C-alpha cells in the first residue's frame, strides 16, 4: 500500500513538472494575444470571424477583451439573445462603414421605433402570401433562363459545364430586379462593399481607394437611374393595384415619419439597402447550399428523388415548395454551416446598466450603451447547440428531430425586433432555384473542396468563386 501511495505521489510530481511549462507557455501566449493591438491581431487572424473565434476559445461564451471596437462584447449565449429579443437598436459605429454607400442616416442604424414604423409601412412588399405569389412566376422565369443557359453549355461539353457558380448565383439573385448591366454592377458593388468592410477593421488597401470611389459612383448612378425609370413608369400608368413591390410603395406612399412623400435620397438609401440584402442572402445562400450538396452525392440523390417523386418533371408551384420537407431541411442546414450573415449586433440601453443571467447561471453585468455582437457562424457551430456541428446533416431539421434544435440558435436572418423582413421571400427564392438545379443537373465541385476559401464581405462569400461542374440528368 505504501509503495502504491508513493507511485501516486511520483506520478503527480512528474505530471506537474510536465504541465507547468506548458501552462506558462499558454499563459504567455494568451497575455500576448490580449495585449496586441486589436486591429493588428485581427489582421494576423485573417479576418473578423477567425479573430472572434480565437477570442471565444480563450475567454468562453462571453468575449469581452481584445475586440476592435470600444465598449463591445461578443456573445454566443442564447440566454442573452432571449433577453434582447425586443431590443432593436444597433450601434452606429459598427455600421459606419456603409455610410459612403447609404448615407449617414440609413436604415441599418435607425433607432428601434423608427425602424419599426418603417417596416410596418412597407411590410406588404415582403412577407404577404399575395406578394410572394405575384412574384413567383417571375422567379420561375429567371430560374429557367439560367437553367437553359447552363444546359446549353453542358451539351457542348462531354463532361458537363464548369460554371463560376458564385458569379452566376449573384447575377441570378439580381436578375429581374434591375435594368442595368449586372456584370459591371456586380464588379462595382463587390469592390465597394468589400473595400468599405475591410476599411472598418484596418484591412484596407489604400492603393484601391480610387477604384472604390469610382465603383461607388457607378453603383449610385445606376441605382438612381433605376428609380428614375420606375417613377416615369408610374407617372405614365398611374397607381398600381394589387401586390406592390418595395420601390412602388416608396414612390406612391408617404414617409411615416413626416407624412410627406419619401425623399429621393431616402428612396435611394432604402433601395440600396434591400438590393444588398437580396443580392447577398439569396445568391450566396444558393451557392453554399450547392457547395454542400456537391460534396455529399448521397444527399444530392435523396433530394433529387424527393423532387422527382412529387413533381414528375413539371415546374413547381409555390405550394409545392412548402411540401418538400427534405429540400427545406437541406437549405436550413446549409444556411447553418455557411450563414450569409457574419454577425448580429445590438446596442443596449444607454441610460442604465444591463444585467443578464447566462445559461450556466452566472450573472453578466454590462455598462450602459454596450454593444453586444452575436457572431452567427460561432453560434451555428457551437457544440452546446448542435451535435456534430461540423457535419452537414439535413436530417437534424426533420420532423422527427426538430425538437432537438434549441431556440435562437439559427440566425442567418438575424433575430427579434430587427429580423430580416424578407426572410420568407428569400427562402422561397433559394428553394425554388435549388429545386430547378436539382431537377436538371448533377452537381460536382470542379476544384478540391479544401481549395475553397471563405471571404468576409459583409456576408460570407467565396474568395475566388467556386467552380462547379453541372451534368445534365437527361430525365
| pLDDT digit string, tens, across residues 164-186 | 999 888 888 766 555 566 677 77
pLDDT tens sequence for the chain (475 residues): 433 344 444 343 333 344 333 433 334 344 444 445 666 777 777 778 889 999 999 999 999 999 888 899 999 999 999 999 999 999 988 888 888 888 889 998 999 999 999 999 988 887 667 778 888 999 999 999 999 999 999 988 888 999 999 988 888 876 655 556 667 777 787 788 777 777 766 665 677 788 888 988 988 888 888 888 888 887 787 665 667 888 889 989 999 999 999 999 999 999 888 877 776 788 899 999 999 999 999 999 999 999 999 999 999 999 999 999 999 999 999 999 999 888 899 999 999 999 999 999 999 999 999 999 999 999 999 999 999 999 999 999 999 998 999 999 999 999 999 998 889 989 999 999 999 999 999 999 999 999 999 887 667 888 889 999 999 996 5
30-45 confidence digits (pLDDT tens):
444 444 566 677 777 7
What is the residue whose three cell numbers read 487572424? 45
- Contact call for residues 74 and 52 (beta carbons, < 8 A): yes
Identify which of 345, 333, 224, 239 has the alpha carbon closest to the alpha carbon of residue 288.
333
Helix, strand, coil percentages for the chain (3-state, nearest 5)? 60, 10, 30
Task: Give the pLDDT score at 422.
Answer: 86
Look up residue 418 and give its three cell numbers: 430587427
Residue 116's pLDDT is 93
- Which distant-in-sequence residues (6+ apart) come within 8 Å of 328 by Cβ? 397, 431
Give the cell for residue 267. 428612396
Q: Record the cell numbers describing residue 357, joined without a space.
A: 443571467
Q: Whose CA is closest to 462, among 212, 216, 169?
A: 169
Q: Torsion over CA of 54, 57, 61 and 66, rounded to 10 degrees?
A: -40
Cα separation, 190 vs 210, whole angstroms: 15
Nearest to 442 by CA among 311, 282, 298: 298
The confidence score (pLDDT) of residue 370 equals 96
Does 273 show up as a binding residue in the annotation?
A: no
Q: Which CATH superfamily is domain 45-472 in?
A: Cytochrome P450 (1.10.630.10)
pLDDT given at position 314? 95
Q: In terms of C-beta density within 10 A (0-12 exposed, 13-18 middle, 19 or more buried), how is residue 250 classed?
A: buried
pLDDT computed for residue 392 by the predictor: 98
Q: What's the alpha-carbon Rg for the chain, to the nearest Å? A: 25
CA 90/CA 111 separation, integer angstroms: 7
pLDDT for 12: 35
Distance separating alpha carbons of residues 206 and 212, to the nearest angstrom? 10
How far apart are alpha carbons 443 and 471 in whole angstroms? 7
Residue labelled with grid coordinates 458564385: 166
Q: Count Cβ atoms within 10 A of the Cβ of residue 22 and give its class: 0-12 exposed, 13-18 middle, 19 or more buried.
A: exposed
Per-residue cell: 335: 444556411
Q: Domain locations in the chain?
A: 45-472
DSSP assigned state of 169: H
Across 311-344, b (16+ Cβ under 10 Å) vs e yields eeeeebebebbeebebbbbbbbbbbbbbbbbbbb
Amino acid at each position: 500500500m505504501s509503495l502504491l501511495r508513493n507511485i501516486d505521489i511520483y506520478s503527480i510530481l512528474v505530471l506537474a513538472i510536465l504541465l507547468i511549462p506548458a501552462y506558462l507557455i499558454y499563459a504567455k501566449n494568451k497575455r500576448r494575444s490580449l495585449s496586441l493591438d486589436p486591429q493588428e491581431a485581427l489582421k494576423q487572424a485573417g479576418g473578423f470571424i477567425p479573430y472572434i473565434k480565437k477570442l471565444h476559445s480563450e475567454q468562453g461564451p462571453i468575449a469581452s477583451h481584445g475586440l476592435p471596437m470600444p465598449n463591445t462584447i461578443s456573445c454566443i449565449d442564447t440566454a442573452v439573445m432571449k433577453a434582447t429579443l425586443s431590443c432593436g437598436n444597433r450601434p452606429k459605429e459598427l455600421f459606419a462603414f456603409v455610410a459612403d454607400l447609404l448615407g449617414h442616416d440609413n436604415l441599418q442604424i435607425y433607432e428601434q421605433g423608427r425602424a419599426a414604423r418603417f417596416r410596418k409601412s412597407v411590410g406588404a412588399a415582403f412577407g404577404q402570401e399575395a406578394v410572394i405569389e405575384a412574384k413567383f412566376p417571375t422567379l420561375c422565369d429567371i430560374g429557367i433562363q439560367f437553367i437553359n443557359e447552363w444546359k446549353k453549355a453542358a451539351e457542348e461539353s462531354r463532361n458537363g459545364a464548369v460554371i463560376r457558380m458564385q458569379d452566376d448565383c449573384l447575377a441570378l439573385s439580381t436578375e429581374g430586379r434591375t435594368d442595368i448591366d449586372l456584370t459591371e454592377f456586380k464588379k462595382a458593388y463587390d469592390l465597394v462593399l468589400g473595400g468599405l468592410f475591410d476599411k472598418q477593421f484596418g484591412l484596407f488597401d489604400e492603393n484601391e481607394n480610387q477604384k472604390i470611389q469610382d465603383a461607388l459612383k457607378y453603383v449610385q448612378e445606376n441605382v438612381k437611374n433605376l428609380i428614375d425609370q420606375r417613377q416615369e413608369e408610374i407617372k405614365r400608368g398611374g397607381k398600381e393595384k394589387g401586390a406592390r413591390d418595395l420601390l412602388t410603395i416608396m414612390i406612391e406612399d408617404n414617409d411615416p415619419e413626416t407624412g410627406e412623400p419619401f425623399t429621393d435620397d431616402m428612396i435611394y438609401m432604402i433601395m440600396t439597402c434591400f438590393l444588398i440584402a437580396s443580392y447577398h442572402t439569396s445568391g450566396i445562400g444558393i451557392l453554399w447550399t450547392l457547395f454542400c450538396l456537391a460534396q455529399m452525392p448521397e444527399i444530392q440523390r435523396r433530394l433529387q428523388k424527393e423532387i422527382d417523386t412529387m413533381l414528375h418533371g413539371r415546374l413547381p408551384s409555390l405550394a409545392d415548395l412548402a411540401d418538400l420537407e427534405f429540400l427545406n431541411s437541406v437549405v436550413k442546414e446549409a444556411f447553418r454551416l455557411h450563414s450569409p450573415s457574419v454577425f448580429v449586433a445590438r446596442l443596449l440601453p444607454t441610460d442604465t446598466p444591463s444585467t443578464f443571467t447566462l445559461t450556466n447561471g452566472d450573472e453578466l453585468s454590462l455598462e450602459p450603451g454596450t454593444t453586444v455582437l452575436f457572431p452567427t457562424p460561432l453560434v451555428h457551430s457551437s457544440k452546446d447547440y448542435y451535435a456534430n456541428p461540423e457535419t452537414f446533416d439535413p436530417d437534424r431539421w426533420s420532423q422527427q428531430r426538430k425538437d432537438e434544435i434549441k431556440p435562437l440558435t439559427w440566425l442567418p436572418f438575424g433575430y427579434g425586433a430587427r429580423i430580416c423582413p424578407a426572410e420568407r421571400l428569400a427562402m422561397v427564392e433559394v428553394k425554388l432555384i435549388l429545386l430547378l438545379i436539382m431537377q436538371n443537373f448533377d452537381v460536382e465541385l470542379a476544384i478540391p473542396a479544401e481549395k475553397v476559401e471563405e471571404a468576409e464581405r459583409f456576408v460570407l462569400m467565396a474568395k475566388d468563386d467556386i467552380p462547379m461542374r453541372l451534368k445534365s440528368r437527361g430525365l
